[in-house]
Structure 1
Amino acid sequence: MAIEPYLSLITSEHADKPNYMAWLSAILQKVDDSISVSNSIPSAFELDTAEGAQLDILGQLIGQPRDIGVPLTNNSSILDDDHYRLVLQAKIVRNQWDGTVGEIYDIWNAAFPGTQLALVDNQDMTMTANITNLEDNLAAELVTAGLIIPRPLGVELNVMASTSITSQEYIGSVVSGYDIVRLSVPS
């Protein structure tokens, strides 16, 4: 809202009075500022662009704290903004998941474009997720911690992730080149 259109509505009887126009401009500017702030709030809390404290507030609303409670490669369980955003997006999708395998693939493709996921129902209350081409070791740890892929209640998820990480510590072991990590997420 700009205040000029409202100032132009003042009749000629008062428009030439500088004190009146200054007083009216000050009041209208306060209203304009408050409207601008209230209009900026939704965009500040968009999940794709929020940072820092805004992400923390979104995490409270979504029900996923930044501290995931699982120590990661960097010996911290607190996520940076990019990985926290990924976990929040996955939490939202997991909460709306319809229970079908097809939607798991949709979730995966949205979270990790360029990586492949193959799910296998082992028919014994377990399922295996074969993941290839993960480039980020922290994202691989989030998958293995059960924070990305939804699973039915009572079903154990076995994750086999192949990464292209070279000479970095990955879940307690040093890998070089192409490595396959097998982990289980308990039911």
Structure 2
Amino acid sequence: MSVSTDSFTGLITTEHQDKSKFVQTVSLSCQGYADQIALCNQTWELYDLDNAEGAQLDVVGLWVGLSRYVALAIDVYFSWDVSGVGWDQGVWWAVGDAEDMVTTLSDDRYRTLLKLKIACNKFNGTLPEALKILSDAVSADGCTVSASETSMAVTFTITGNISTVMKAVIEGGYLPLKPAGVSVTYKFSQ
């Protein structure tokens, strides 16, 4: 990241401007400062949500209020009414076994989730706005969202084959779409 030091060497008085070694010494002495100025000028771009990657995106996530790590339920333990984990299919749960595992989101998926969280932070509490945010969340999976209202309760039904991560995000409350005093439930159907 080399930036011109002309703004520094331009301050040299006329009686020393013809001394090339002096000008080079001043230029080399000021190069670090010029690099720092250039870095400061582009810092906003490094932490822009659309351009950030890796650690910079994690910092944006801290500012927005959402971590890159998402807890996923482990569905391998024996259960009576869940297909695939019944007799001779499921693993017996023992004391100390994890019930959740944590996954790390890729930059692209994390960026999408951050944009959804920003939309939730701006959420105005209306049902159409909540439907729009949820529809944006599941549109990549080709799912649809509908809502049914009752007295002080809303049930969002997500129809389609939703990804495990997005289901965990919605069920885990990573996208808070709950107006004050209203209970919200989510149903998933295929």
Contact between 1:126 and 1:158, CA under 8 Å: does it hold in 2? Answer: no
Query: Which residue is 1:85 aligned to?
Result: 111
CA distance in 1, matches of 2:7, 2:68: 46
In the alignment, residue 51 of structure 2 is paired with which amino acid?
T
2:145 to 106, 109, 117: 117
| Structure 1 residue 157 corresponds to structure 2 residue 185 | yes
User: Number of paired residues?
Assistant: 161
- Shift, 1:64, TM fit: 2.2
In the alignment, residue 153 of structure 2 is paired with which amino acid?
T
CA distance in 2, matches of 1:49, 1:135: 27
Query: Which residue is 2:158 aligned to?
Result: 131
Written as runs of structure 1 = structure 2, the 5 A alignment for 1:147-186 is: 147-148=174-175, 150-153=177-180, 154-161=182-189, 180=190
| Structure 1 residue 141 corresponds to structure 2 residue 168 | yes
- Shift, 1:44, TM fit: 1.5
Contact between 2:72 and 2:102, CA under 8 Å: does it hold in 1? Answer: yes
CA distance in 1, matches of 2:34, 2:74: 47
SS of 1:152's equivalent? coil
Query: Which residue is 2:23 aligned to?
Result: 21
SS of 2:60's equivalent? helix
In the alignment, residue 120 of structure 2 is paired with which amino acid?
R
Written as runs of structure 1 = structure 2, the 5 A alignment for 1:32-71 is: 32-71=34-73
Structure 2: gaps spanning 5 or more residues: 76-99
SS of 1:92's equivalent? helix
CA distance in 2, matches of 1:120, 1:43: 42
- After TM superposition, the score normalised by the length of structure 1 is 0.67
- CA RMSD after TM alignment: 3.1
Structure 1: gaps spanning 5 or more residues: 162-179, 181-187
SS of 1:13's equivalent? coil
CA distance in 2, matches of 1:69, 1:137: 11
| Structure 1 residue 103 corresponds to structure 2 residue 103 | no
Decide which moves more: 9-18 or 23-32: 9-18
In the alignment, residue 100 of structure 1 is paired with which amino acid?
T
